[in-house]
Amino acid sequence: MSDISEATINRLPLYLRELEQLQRIGTARVQSGQIAKRLGFSDSQVRRDLSVLGSMGQRGVGYDVRSLIGTIRNQLGGDRSWNVVLVGVGNLGKALCGYRGFDQHGLNLVGVFDVDPAKIGTKLGDHVIRPLGELESLVEEQTVELAILAVPASVAPAVAQRLEVVGISGILNFAPVNVKQKLSSLTIVDVDLAIELQRLAHAVLRARSEKSED
Amino acid sequence: MSDISEATINRLPLYLRELEQLQRIGTARVQSGQIAKRLGFSDSQVRRDLSVLGSMGQRGVGYDVRSLIGTIRNQLGGDRSWNVVLVGVGNLGKALCGYRGFDQHGLNLVGVFDVDPAKIGTKLGDHVIRPLGELESLVEEQTVELAILAVPASVAPAVAQRLEVVGISGILNFAPVNVKQKLSSLTIVDVDLAIELQRLAHAVLRARSEKSED
């Protein structure tokens, strides 16, 4: 599992999304070149990534869409389902809660939490917003392993620590701050808008320099 | 520029954030090991990444924080500033607009757009929400190169196409759909919640399997 490079792992969800879209419109087989075009990757990149998974396309026939989806889901841990809690109901939390992609990826949003007394007890979609004090019992009852952290940066490290104490294994962190604790066994994935925009700026510069080299 | 691996490039913004936090609290020099601990990377990983930038720490003295920040910013294209527009003012767009990290990363949010007549003309923070029809003139006047796309998936590909037509070079796409057009020269960075959660699930599984191997 850990033999696959981080860069390849990061591309797997993109392949999965494309393959699922193809499956939805009834496509049974796909060539690496088609996937490459849709994603803006090179053909050899796609073949290399998929061969790492043990999936070899047949010349002229391509890959079986359904089995490739299974392989990638399995690799990503998406063949099992994960219970997820959302902590922090600001604009971002609201947007995340309304996101309709959880179910189809094996992710069950089982609880929504905030500290604001004005929000606690009100409804957000199908969920009643709960106080943080109820986190521990829910995590135990429902075996919650993942949390989405959408609280302000100032409180994010403390909330992350609390999430670890109650037994959460992984945090998707939207606060623009490092919530990784020393000696912690928590797994953190950060989504930071400024960082993503910097990646974009860099990618634009790189695309221009490659173009000027042509 | 294109000699640096994608994985390293993706880590550079994380280094930058840590270094900026260190600088804010008055730290002038830092050891690779300190950076490694804060980010949960290995020491050798940090030294390898920074050496690719041409930055060599001095044994026992470490890296000069200020000059390292300059080097990484330069590499990421962050030594120049970028004008950015936001398209789509739902919960996510509101959250993004309220994000206080733009300025310090050389990103200027110069316009906010939506198609909803009920929203157009109202204020969001310091910005008056404008109709999409005003996009082209703003992009020309202010030399806007980047856009944040926070519209529903159903309209995202069409809006992305329009952004390219008016002269945008790069899009940070939050819609859970592939907006990359065939033959397009647009640079796209996708942020998809389900994809990030899958990365997290995978990272949790990987951490567990590494632990059980110890």
Task: Compute the distance between CA of residue A39 and CA of residue A147 in angstroms, rounded to an integer.
Answer: 29
Contacts of B9 in chain A (CB under 8 A): 199, 202
- Least confident interval from A24-33, A79-88, A140-149, B8-17: B8-17
Q: Which residue has the higher pLDDT, A101 or A172?
A: A172
**Best A25, A73, A197 residue to mutate vs chain B (most B CBs within 10 Å):** A197
Residue contact B77–A201, C-beta within 8 A: yes
Q: Is A131 on the interface with B (CB under 8 A)?
A: no
Q: Is A169 on the interface with B (CB under 8 A)?
A: yes
Q: Is A36 on the interface with B (CB under 8 A)?
A: no
Contacts of A205 in chain B (CB under 8 A): 1, 77
* Strands B170-173 vs B187-190: parallel, antiparallel or unpaired: parallel
pLDDT single digits (tens) A156-171: 999 999 999 999 999 9
pLDDT at A85 over 80: yes
Q: Is A78 on the interface with B (CB under 8 A)?
A: yes
pTM attached to this predicted model = 0.73
Whole-number pLDDT of residue A163? 95
pLDDT at B3 over 80: no
Q: How far is A73 from chain B (nearest CA, A)?
A: 9
Contacts of B13 (CB under 8 A, 6+ apart): A192, A194, A195, A198, A199, B76
Q: Which helix (H) or strand (E) holds A140?
A: helix A135-142
CB-based burial of residue B32 (10 Å sphere; 0-12 exposed, 13-18 middle, 19+ buried)?
buried
User: In terms of CA atoms, which chain A residue is nearest residue B185?
Assistant: A207
Whole-number pLDDT of residue A147? 95
Contacts of B95 in chain A (CB under 8 A): 90-92, 94-95
Contacts of B194 in chain A (CB under 8 A): 13, 99, 101-102, 104-105, 107
Whole-number pLDDT of residue B78? 57
pLDDT at A124 over 60: yes
Q: Identify the three-state secondary structure at position B73.
A: helix
Residue contact B199–A92, C-beta within 8 A: no
Task: Compute the distance between CA of residue B124 and CA of residue A77 in angstroms, rounded to an integer.
Answer: 39
Residue contact B204–A95, C-beta within 8 A: no
Q: How far is B95 from chain A (nearest CA, A)?
A: 5
pLDDT at A78 over 60: no
- Show the tokens assigned to B118: 């009920």
**Best B104, B108, B187 residue to mutate vs chain A (most A CBs within 10 Å):** B187
Assess: ipTM above 0.85. no
Residue contact B192–A17, C-beta within 8 A: yes
Nearest beta carbon to residue B203 from set A170, A176, A193: A170
Closest CA to A195 of B76, B93, B114: B76
CB-based burial of residue B132 (10 Å sphere; 0-12 exposed, 13-18 middle, 19+ buried)?
middle
DSSP A34-68: HHHHHHT--HHHHHHHHHHTT--PBTTTBEEHHHH
Q: How far is B8 from chain A (nearest CA, A)?
A: 9
Task: Compute the distance between CA of residue A56 and CA of residue A64 in angstroms, rounded to an integer.
Answer: 10
Q: Identify the three-state secondary structure at position B203.
A: helix
Beta-bridged to residue A163, according to DSSP, are none
Determine the average pLDDT of the residues in B20-41: 86
Contacts of A70 (CB under 8 A, 6+ apart): A79
- Show the tokens assigned to A97: 């809660």
- Show the tokens assigned to B109: 């949010």
CB-based burial of residue A82 (10 Å sphere; 0-12 exposed, 13-18 middle, 19+ buried)?
buried
pLDDT at A89 over 50: yes
Determine the average pLDDT of the residues in B171-186: 82
Whole-number pLDDT of residue B16? 87
Contacts of B14 in chain A (CB under 8 A): 190, 195
Whole-number pLDDT of residue B213? 65
Q: Using N-to-C axis directions, what is the helix angle for A193-213 and B6-24, rounded to 10°?
A: 130
Q: Using N-to-C axis directions, what is the helix angle for A6-24 and B6-24, rounded to 10°?
A: 120
Q: Is B102 on the interface with A (CB under 8 A)?
A: yes
Instruction: Count the Cβ atoms, other than its own, within 10 Å of residue B143.
Output: 11
Which of A43-47, A118-122, A188-192, B11-15 is predicted most confidently?
A118-122
Residue contact A76–B201, C-beta within 8 A: yes
